[in-house]
Structure formats: C-alpha cells, structure tokens
Homo-oligomer: A and B are copies of this chain.
Amino acid sequence: MSSLQFLFEARSVAIVGASNDQHKLGGRPISYMQRLGYQGKIIPVNPKEEVIQGLPAKHSLAELDDPVDLAVLAVPINLVEPIVKEGLANGVKNYVIFASGYAEIDADGLNKQQRLNALFDKTDARLLGPNCLGFINTHTQLIASFTTAMENHPLNVGKLSFAGHSGALGAYWLDKTIHANIGVSKWISSGNESNTTLADIIEYLANDPQTEVISLYIEQIRQPELCEKALLLAKQNNKPVVAMKGGKSTAGARATLAHTASNTQLGVDYQAIFQRTGVIEVSSLSEMINVCEFQLNGDCIVGKRVGIISISGGAGVMLSDQLESNGLVVSDFSEQLANTVRPLLSPLSCTQNPVDLTAAMVAQPDMLSNVASELISSNEYDALVIFMGLMDSLAEHITRCIIELERNPNCPVLLIWMGGKAECVQAISAHQIMVFDDIPELVSLLSKVALK
C-alpha cells in the first residue's frame, strides 16, 4: 500500500474545526459525508462542542481514542502548526490543510510554509496543501473538501480522476462531470504542494485501480523528473492523461505565483514532457471534459481520415474546412465505395465525402442508417462524423438509427446535432456516442485525439 493510499482512501477522518453550520468550511465535509454515506468513521473535533451535526465530537486530536487515518484542518492559519504537532504526537499520519496565507503570499508566508513542512521531516506522514480545497474519493464517499460543487447534485461515481492546482477550476470540473453524466473516481486539489506534489498524486492515480483516465490542471511542475516518471507509469498502465497547463503567458505566470506560489518561468519544458509521455494538452475545461469522455468511452482514432454525413450541404462544407485546417483529412470515396453509396442517396445528391443527404432524407429516413453503415464498414475512414440540425419531426427516428448503428472499433461515430432535442441528445450520449452542439468543439476534440 503506497503512503498516499492511507490519505486518499482513509477509513477514518477527523474534521478539526468542525462546525454545526453546514455551509462553513468545517461543517460542509461532515454534512456531505453524512448525506452521501461515507463508509468510514467521522470524528468532529471542536474545543467547545460535545456533539457536531449529530456526531460525538472530541475537543482535540489528543483526545482521540485511536489514531484516525486522516485529519482535515478547517482552521485559521495560526492554529495549523499546533494542531499538526498534536496530531503527529498522537499518531495521525495524514493531513489536509485548507488554510491559505503561505508561500503564495510573501516571504513571511513562505517561512510559515517551510516551518509547517519541517514538522513532516523524518516522518512518513503526508500533508495535502496548504492553500487547497482538499480531496474527494467517490468510491468511499470520503469528502475531505469544502467545495460547493456538490451542494445541489451528488457526483456520479466512476473512473475519471482530477488533480490540480486550482480548487475552483476543480469545482467547475466537478460541475461539468455532473452535467455531462460522467463518473468521477478521485478529485484532488493540490494547493501549494508543500509535501505532496502533483508527481506523487499522478503516481498514485496511475496505480489506482478505480481510475481509468487522469485529468490535470498544472501550474508549476515542481518535480519534473518524478512527474515524467509518474506520467510514463500512467501511459504504461494504459491510462490516458489530459492536461491543462496554466501560466504560459506573462500575465498568466504573474497570476500563478500569487495563486499557488507556482513559478512557471523556471525553464521546465512541460511540452517536451507531455510529448514524451503522451499527455494530451487541452486549453479549456470544456475541451478537457470532451477529451476525457472520448477516452472513457474507450474510443480510439488511429488515422486522419474522416467521413462526413450531413443533413446540410453548408454544414458539410464548414465541417470539411475546419477539419482539414486542423490537420484531418476529409478524403473522398474510393470508386467502389461510391458505387455502393450512390443508389442509397437521392439522384440529386452528389456521391462524395462530405455526403449531403439533402431534404431527401425526410422522405427516406433510413437513408442515414444505410449510408452510415457503408462508411463505417468500408475501412476507408478512421472516424465518421454525422451532422444533423433541428429535424424535430424525425428526431426519435434519427436517435434510434444512430444508437443502432453497428459499431466498428476502427471507425468511431461522433454526432453534431445543432438545436437537437435534449432527450435525444441524452439518449445517444448514454450509448457512448458523443454529441456536440456546434462544429468547433468536435473539431477541437478530433484534432486532439486523432493526431496523437
């Protein structure tokens, strides 16, 4: 068992600074865990209370009957050091520290962080943070975080994990997984990384059997060699890694220093590391979620040839232009494929890629299935993109056609449905076919996953 397993899979947790107010930093984790059914033991710690949110409380970590696996410190910065000392003295091996005011602020803060870190020297205890939002393990419903992202909706349990330097971006990431119906495994806010770095966390996730895809928001890569090693481990274990890198511009770099004391100007060539380890770099959360969903579906695009079937001639044109300008190839049919497809189309349609089904599809609604099946099985394309727009009157039929298409692992199907009905889009997504509302998001996804 790696040392971080005791942290991220803790079976007992003390919330220090526990509160009866479910909206406070020290109240929210307890409230979440009770509501969601944390499988371990929760021990609220508060010097003045006997009972917190219905649970018997301790006055300090010194009063624990048995050492807990994890102490979450929801206390002001000036109380952190004495509480950590008390915890270490009483056998508590893992800490999450929310407080900020450390290295991200000034020299004095850096001093405080170094003093805090020194407490962990010559111990095998681990600290996540400070200046972080903690972590979540959905599989045991261990919520060592005060993020508000789950206030209205619980998370879906699944196989996508996140780690990164921004707790807030992490919260928006959580919100996006809820709305995209993607299951989450671990969610980790690393903060100032005083003791536990992203490299450690990536290594943990690379070994975590409950994680299949890893997504990262990185400001500074603090231990480039260790980080590269951990990313290679993820690659060996067939876990795609999708990363957003912050602090690349002058203003961005200024902001990372103030944010997590991250110095992005130290000459670490993160792009070379990403290149060597197969990390897919994305530039927004939306793009990250799309790439992760594609990977979670188990899809794979091994070449650049994209087939297009469109209900709109103009959309076929725009899609072709955007794909080709992003390095993909909208290659035309072989003569054989053209001969197979021709009788399936209206005589007014041209038999070529992109295929324009034209309004003829309204009279022959099976045209979509028929043409799509031929393209999918032709082995002439590495991916098939279908473009639909509106089509309310045929929406249920189209949905069924797309869900029932025979799958070819060498030619995944992706759909753009502009103005499509929400329930149809949901039904198709639920069958592991990704649906987009406009062309750019699809093109951006394909350019990330097909050219890798």
Contacts and interface: CB of A to CB of B under 8 A. Distances in A.
A71 to B, nearest CB: 21
B439 A284 contact: yes
A317 interface: yes
A168 interface: yes
A313 B390 contact: no
Contacts of A172: 312, 315, 389-390, 418-419
Interface in A144-160: 148-149, 151-152
Interface string A305-317: 0001001111111
A314 B440 contact: no
Interface in A240-291: 244, 246-252, 254-260, 283-287
B320 A165 contact: no
A315 B249 CA distance: 13
A439 B438 CA distance: 16
A330 B418 contact: no
Given A354-B255, A390-B175, A419-B175, A260 B318 contact: no
A78 to B, nearest CB: 13
B314 A249 contact: no
A23 B331 CA distance: 37
B252 A320 contact: yes
B254 A165 contact: no
Interface residues of A, number: 80
B255 A100 contact: no
Given A149-B390, A283-B322, A440-B287, A312 B251 contact: no
Contacts of A323: 249, 251
A321 B182 CA distance: 27
A284 B438 contact: yes
Contacts of A321: 246-249, 251-252, 283
A313 to B, nearest CB: 3
Contacts of A19: none
A336 interface: no
Given A149-B390, A332-B251, A246 B175 contact: no
Contacts of A255: 313, 316-317, 320, 352, 354, 356
Interface in A356-381: 356, 358
Given A255-B354, A259-B314, A284-B438, 4 more contacts: A148-B393, A166-B317, A169-B389, A247-B321
